Every structure is written in C-alpha cells, then in structure tokens.
C-alpha cells in the first residue's frame, strides 16, 4: 500500500488472471510501493453478461484499459499531491497529525472542503468514520482496527471520499441497528462509490442521557441526538418523564459537543459515556436504550476487496435490481434456498422515481432507473462454489447485480447492556 506522493511513475507490472470463475486481480506497482486494484469478475457462458464487484466488468481488454486509466489517474494525482504538500506544510489544508501529538485530543471532523490528498502516511492504519470523537462509530473503528488512527468526518460521503483519495486506508460505517433497522444512506453510497466491504463489526450501543454538570431533569425542554439514537431511546425517554422536544443532529457525540460549546442548560444529549468524558458533561441517566440487546452493525470498507476464503465463516453482501416488477425476487431467493445458503438480511427499497447513480469508469457514474433495489446478505464466501453458482443464476434474472463484498463474519460474543438508571 502506498500514499500517492510516490515520486515514481506507476507501471502495470504484475497480473494474476484466474479465468472461468470469479477472481481477477491486478497489481499495479512501482518498486516497493504498490497500489492494488482487484476485480471480482465472472462471465456467464450463456448470455455473455458479466458482473463485477465494483471496479469494472467485461472483457480482458476492457479490464486492462481500466487499469491503464487508473494508472494515469494515479500519476496525475501524484502531481496534485506534490502541489498539495506545500499547502499542508503551510497548514492550509488537512491536519492529519496523530491525536497524541496534538495539544488537544479532540480532532475536528473533516468536511468536503478538506478533501485534498494527504502527503502523510504514518505507521498506523487510518480509519475514517462519520461523527466526532466520542461517537459510536469511532468506537466501532477501534473495535474493527485496534490501535488505528481514527479520522472523524462530518458526513458519510466524506468518509467514502477520504478512502478513495487515500487520505484514509479504511472507512467504518453503520449499516443497520437491531432497533432502528437499515441505514439506507450508506447502502446508496456503496452503490455510488467503488469501495468494497472487507469486514463487519457489531457494536453493542449503550446510550446515556448527558447534560451540563448540575442540570436536573426538570430543567430540560429538549433532547438532541442522532436520529437512530433518538429512535433507540424513545420509550425510555417517555418513562423518564421527558416528553420534551426531540431534535435530530448529525451524530451523538456532536450533540454533546454542541451543548457544551453553547452552554445549554435546558438541553440534553443522547450519547456515549466517552462523549460525556470528552465534552465535560454529566451522565443524568445511564443505559437508556429501549432494548438492552441494542447493537449496531458496521461495515469496514477498503479500496480493494479481500480474497474470499472458505476456512472460516464468511458473509457476502450483494445488491441487485430488475427493470420491471418484483417477481424476480422469488427466483433470486430460490437460487440461495436450493443451495442451502442462509440469508442474514434482505431489504428492498422502492426507487421508481429516483435514479441511482452507479459508480463506473467514467467520473460521473451512470444514472439508472430501477423500480426496486434489493440488498441481500448471505452466509457463504465468494470462494464457495455454491455462492458462485447461486450468483450466476441470480444474474440471469436481474438487470443489475453487484457484489458489495465477501468478508469474514463478526463472530465475537457480546453481552447485553445494563438497565437504565437515573443518576
């Protein structure tokens, strides 16, 4: 892996090609610095249609052209990066100094305006998350990649872009919660961007009600938090007698930070105990999630897919669509059922009037109209021949199919949170 400020040009110097099944892999590199571009690739023998996991699909020729386009892009980005280096040294752009070297441990969240490639690449894996320090997503990044340098971003989209622009190495983003359901925004972004799911992590979410020190429940006229967190605590807030205004903000820790920065005595935040510590808040009530098995599933995203394996439990996430009607769903589901492949998630979203912009090799992507988009997670690796056959069949029935990633399942046990208690 390299940062983009390598002075050397980029050559196509290694190619591994495995025909017939799924994996096509290119390694584009220069000396010890290597950029990897991998493509999951399968061509249906009958129809000649092909599906890919994001980067490209089609003939070997198309694929090689895609690699040379990528190489060209990298060269031009290297030039940009050299230009940006001066700006960074003059503190005109990103501040990517690791947390422990800063005078204050709280990092500012990145915004779109900050997205210029970083000339720095330290020893630690840089992991982008949405929110500010103290957000659950930061904890998920730490669980997924212990010891990583967590990079706060103000929007999900920015987290995707930090990885695409090599500012971060990975992104860790929430996709579903046991109480609140799917976080559709991130599924849409997975379609629009070229990142691959390389892992998942489940995080038990233990919410606290935070106020400024000395504030009592009776003073409160408003509770602010991330919409998912508000939804996860709805009944507990009512039980606490807090029938006050609920207001949605970008993230839980950001809510605590906002109250602290504006010295709001009438407002409480739903956030983590770590957010209380970071922003000098008191914990008025602890464990206020409605269900003590409240857990959020995050996916780990990278520029390249991982090589699927069969020696441990793997999960594969796909998204597909058909131009007309929904009858295709039965056929698709039977492709998995006949092969004894369990599904862990199925989700449909109407998309009749909203075109989806799909990532492709052109910069802007392609806008496509579908009636419905379906997301399915199943318990098998793409290295498993059953999964390969199921997807070959699914491809027959669908007009669009993408493998979002094939990755190890998070099997770590977790214990439920303790009950709500008002301090």
Ligand X SMILES: O=C(O)C(=O)C[C@]1(C(=O)O)C=C[C@@H](O)C=C1
Interface with ligand X by CB under 6 A: which residues? 131, 135-137, 174, 177, 183, 205, 226, 228-229, 251-253, 296
Beta carbon of residue 185, minimum distance to ligand X (angstroms, whole number): 9
Q: Where are the beta strands (DSSP E) in 133-251?
A: 149-153, 170-177, 181-182, 196-204, 208-211, 222-225, 245-248
Nearer to ligand X, 135 or 197 (CB): 135
Do residues 289 and 232 lie in contact, with contact meaning Cβ atoms separated by under 8 Å?
yes
Nearer to ligand X, 49 or 143 (CB): 143
Q: How far is CA 401 from the centre of its chain?
A: 19
Catalytic residue among 81, 211, 296, 316: 296
Beta carbon of residue 135, minimum distance to ligand X (angstroms, whole number): 3
Q: 298 catalytic, yes or no? A: yes
355-394 burial code (b ≥16 CB/10 A, e <16): ebebbeeeeebeebebbbbbbbbbbbbbbbeebbebbbbb
Token couple for 112: 């779109």
Do residues 305 and 405 lie in contact, with contact meaning Cβ atoms separated by under 8 Å?
yes
Beta carbon of residue 104, minimum distance to ligand X (angstroms, whole number): 20
Nearer to ligand X, 271 or 403 (CB): 271
Do residues 28 and 10 lie in contact, with contact meaning Cβ atoms separated by under 8 Å?
yes
Nearer to ligand X, 149 or 257 (CB): 257
Q: 51 catalytic, yes or no? A: no
Report the candidate in 135, 202, 136, 120 with the shortest Cα–Cα distance to residue 169. 120
DSSP β-bridge partners for residue 405? 317
Token couple for 92: 């005109």
Beta carbon of residue 14, minimum distance to ligand X (angstroms, whole number): 39
Do residues 138 and 129 lie in contact, with contact meaning Cβ atoms separated by under 8 Å?
yes
Beta carbon of residue 270, minimum distance to ligand X (angstroms, whole number): 9
Do residues 297 and 380 lie in contact, with contact meaning Cβ atoms separated by under 8 Å?
no
Nearer to ligand X, 53 or 177 (CB): 177
Query: Left, alpha or beta for 373 (phi > 0: left; psi -120 to 50: alpha)?
Result: beta
Catalytic residue among 41, 298, 336, 370: 298
Beta carbon of residue 64, minimum distance to ligand X (angstroms, whole number): 40
Nearer to ligand X, 51 or 298 (CB): 298
397-411 burial code (b ≥16 CB/10 A, e <16): bbebbbbbbbbbbbe
Report the candidate in 121, 162, 117 with the shortest Cα–Cα distance to residue 141. 162
Q: How far apart are CA 41 and CA 58, in angstroms?
A: 8
Beta carbon of residue 238, minimum distance to ligand X (angstroms, whole number): 19
Nearer to ligand X, 179 or 332 (CB): 179
Do strands 196-204 and 295-302 pair parallel, antiparallel, or not at all (unpaired)?
antiparallel
Residues classed as catalytic: 296, 298
């Amino acid at each position: 892996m390299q940062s983009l400020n390598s002075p050397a040009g980029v050559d196509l110097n290694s190619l591994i090609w495995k025909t017939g099944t799924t994996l096509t892999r290119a390694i584009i590199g220069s000396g010890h610095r290597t950029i990897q571009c991998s493509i999951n690739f399968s061509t249906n023998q009958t129809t000649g249609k092909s599906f890919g996991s994001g980067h490209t699909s089609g003939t070997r020729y198309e694929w090689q052209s895609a690699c040379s386009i990528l190489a060209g892009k990298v060269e031009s980005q290297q030039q940009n990066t050299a230009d940006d280096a001066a700006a960074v040294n003059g503190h005109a752009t990103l501040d990517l100094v690791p947390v422990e070297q800063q005078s204050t441990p709280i990092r500012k969240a990145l915004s779109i305006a900050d997205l210029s490639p970083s000339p720095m690449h330290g020893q630690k894996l840089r992991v982008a998350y949405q929110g500010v320090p103290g957000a659950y997503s930061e904890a998920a990044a730490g669980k997924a990649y212990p010891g990583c340098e967590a990079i706060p971003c103000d929007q999900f989209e920015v987290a995707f872009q930090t990885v695409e622009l090599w500012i971060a190495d990975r992104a860790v983003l929430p996709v579903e919660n046991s109480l609140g359901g799917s976080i559709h925004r991130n599924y849409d972004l997975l379609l629009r961007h070229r990142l691959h799911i390389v892992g998942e992590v489940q995080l038990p979410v233990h919410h606290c009600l935070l106020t400024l020190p000395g504030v009592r429940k009776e003073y409160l006229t408003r509770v602010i938090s991330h919409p998912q967190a508000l939804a996860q605590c709805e009944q507990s807030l009512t039980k606490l007698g807090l029938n006050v205004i609920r207001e949605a903000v970008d993230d839980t820790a950001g809510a605590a930070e906002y109250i602290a920065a504006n010295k709001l005595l009438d407002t409480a935040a739903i956030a983590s105990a770590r957010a209380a510590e970071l922003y000098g808040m008191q914990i008025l009530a602890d464990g206020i999630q409605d269900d003590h098995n409240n857990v959020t599933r995050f996916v780990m995203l990278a520029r390249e897919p991982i090589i699927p394996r069969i020696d441990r439990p793997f999960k594969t996430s796909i998204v597909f669509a058909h131009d007309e009607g929904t009858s295709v769903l039965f056929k698709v589901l039977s492709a998995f059922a006949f092969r004894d492949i369990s599904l862990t998630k199925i989700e449909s979203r109407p998309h009749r009037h909203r075109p989806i912009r799909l990532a492709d090799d052109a910069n802007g992507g392609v806008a496509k109209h579908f009636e419905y988009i379906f997301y399915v997670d199943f318990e098998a690796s793409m290295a498993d021949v059953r999964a390969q056959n199921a997807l070959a069949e699914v491809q027959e029935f669908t007009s669009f199919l993408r493998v979002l990633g094939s990755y190890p399942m998070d099997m770590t046990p977790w214990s439920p949170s303790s009950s709500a208690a008002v301090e």
